[in-house]
Structure 1
Amino acid sequence: MIKNKISRGVLLGILSISVDGIAGLAIFPVLLYYQPKELAGLWILLTSFSALLNLAQAGLGPVITRMATEIKIDSTDSDIEKYYLKVNYCYRIVVFLVFCICALLYLFYIRDVLIKSNYLSSGIIVWAIMTLGYCLKIYATKNINTVNGYGELGWDKLIQIVVTVFSNIAYVIGLYFGLSLIFLATIFFIFSLVYLYGSKVILRIFVKMPKILSRKKINFSEVLDIFKQSLKVLILNLVSVIVLNVDILIVERFWGLNVIPLYSALVKIVTLIIAVSLLIQQMIYPYISLSWNTGVYKKARDLYLKGLMISLITSIVLSALLFLTAPILIPIWIGYGNYLGAKVFGPLLLFGIVYTHFHSHVSPILATGKKTYITPAITNGILSIILGLLGAKYFGINGIALGNIIASLIPTIYVVISTLRFFKTHSKYGGLANGEYKR
């Protein structure tokens, strides 16, 4: 049963990533064909903030998923109701934080970019509409995390497939008829609303919910405790966002908006490889958590090692394949003369492998709730900024990825050794080493 759910989740995840990837790759040449490079770069820049805004969840995702797993194992109706009240309260705070972050981004960064590109009046409207869309998508994640915690994997991917397909069809139609970025932002908002509604549907289908949530007050200290648990995850997520997105900001500062579409096209490919490679980690996360909470430590270790092997093999094979075919495929995709070359793409792909390796060890640890890697994460983030800037200054655009690789190596080595030792120790000396889940 568990294997079937993981397999279903993986298959739907691969399909979702494939659809999202194809749609994302397809929109690049359309943007470059129907929009000036500067406006195309602006749209890509504005949509790139989605990863940063996900940080407003303050690392709640893994914590909520683990809480939902515990509720599923053993709970009363009162426990379930209390869970939903706390989660709803947490995500109202999160939506407010998203709005505040969007406002700060505009005041201290986006406004300056819009002025430079002479797009201030329309750009304000675009960002305001996108802000509302981001708030809706973030709020939907509370439903997604609960469903995943109950072990019903992959259904959120099905919603994402529908949203991706129809939203990108709308984008292409709008660009074909010469509509502005305001239209694209409106489409983004509409399909964020669709995503929220879809998340509510799967929650009602798969999860036992109270018929009516009471209006009793929640003890704020309990909500604060949830955020305290998620703080370490937030730091890890913050580092991930810095490491994966700092290069776009560096490119904008050193080479301007015109180069962003060309560099982002390569980053998009690497991001897709990372997403496919780490998909298995998302699917096994709730089951590692379940194994750990029920004392079956050996099973948790087995899932961790299998996930690690699958993630690494996938990352290496896909990276090698795309590196070899890039000189032929990328010019066909975004136009001849727009491929930045193997000296840029090669280091980006190598960085993707290192990043996948790092997170294939971190995710299983987070599922146990017993350990995090704050110091290595902070070290990685700081070094990525410093070495990325130095690489750009002294080695050109290919130096950004080289800087990120060097920044990631030492933290990755530490995390690998520590995680292997952690699971080996606990599976050998603790828990139901060869047992089944307690029911």
Structure 2
Amino acid sequence: METVKLGMLGLGTVGSGVLEMIENNESKIRNIIGRELSVKTVVVRHPEKHQNAAADIKLTTEFEEVLNDNEIQIVVELIGGIHPAKEYIERLLKAHKSVVTANKDLIASYGPELAALAYENHCDLMYEASVAGGIPILRTIVNSFAADNILEVKGIVNGTTNYILTQMNQKHWTYDEALKKAQELGFAEADPTNDVTGKDAAYKMIILSYFAFGTQLKIDDFKTEGIDTLNAFDVSQAESLGYVIKLVGSAKVINGGVFVDVAPTLVPEDHPLATINNEFNAVMVTGKAVGDTLFYGPGAGGLPTANSVLSDITSEVKNLIMGTSGHAFNTYQNEYVPADPDDVSYPYYLSLTMPDVSGQMLKFTKIMADVKASFSQIVQSPIKDEGIAHVAVITHELSQSQLTELKHQLHNADSIKLNAAYKVLEN
């Protein structure tokens, strides 16, 4: 039986998972693709740290040993980050080697450009593992929604922040306590900035939007807000109002325009996304024909992500066998037209503080009336011995323009402070 030889860049948690799955599932892989898979060469910074690698795998610090090896047909990029991964992948594609990657930062920033380079050189660029780890969401959108008109994609696509929010909600921990525990368990990096500021989720929403709507967005095209300024009071207040706060990424078509955002969101307790806890991810895809569908699973981790990488590898082997390499993973293309802010509306949760004296609520309701806004729920909680009151409000739907004006007026109100304004998801 013929053997397809692979190269790898990086041998961290996911890379080790790929090797483990190839070894443990050798018989099934051979049965499905009709070929043996063999990792020939792995590029690492410190070969001495990987002495447990199989004896038949060559460890090297030299990228050219993979690039110039004509036996290696597929290369798996798992070093992460944009540079030098981008330059490595460009050189591999120009050498007519297909590439499989889990690099969301790179794909979100340069995916279409790299896909075009792969097409020019009659090879493939595959990246199922770049979004939601072990959930095969990209291939599902490409194949199972090919004939449906997708209206919205939303979900919880960052396991670090979801773990933190789960602890804040269920155990009433502070943000700092939950983050520290996430780091101890390996769910958060030593520097968690990309996760907690929403940047990681934003990269994933760029890729999901590209597959769902054919639009090529940049991270500066839409609003991204993380959980790093979220406090325990708002988590508790949301719970008392019947909601759970989640970091939700959303992309939807509104009157022909596309609206994308990543932000802390109040999710009704009986909504499917409210039940997604700890490090798990979920993506909801709403199609015009099929309605709402939900895809749930581990969003990260060595073996779950390795499974998605292996899925891409086996797909590419089939392409090599049939001579069909050189077709883009996603061929759906549309011009990006941002939705009109006046067309985008949601209810909002407002967290306010104001002096606990008469006349302040009247002042607030007048500001709401000035921007033609109203509310469905309002809760006032005096802060003992401080003469200050916390006020939590659930508004009726506000357009983005109304919300901007409301924030402006509250900012100019001397005695009323707007601490947070979070979108409210409706069932």
Decide: shared fold, TM above 0.5.
no
Structure with greater strand percent: 2
Scaled by the length of structure 2, what TM-score is found?
Answer: 0.24
Structure with greater helix percent: 1
Report which of the two structures shows the higher radius of gyration computed on alpha carbons: 2
Scaled by the length of structure 1, what TM-score is found?
Answer: 0.23
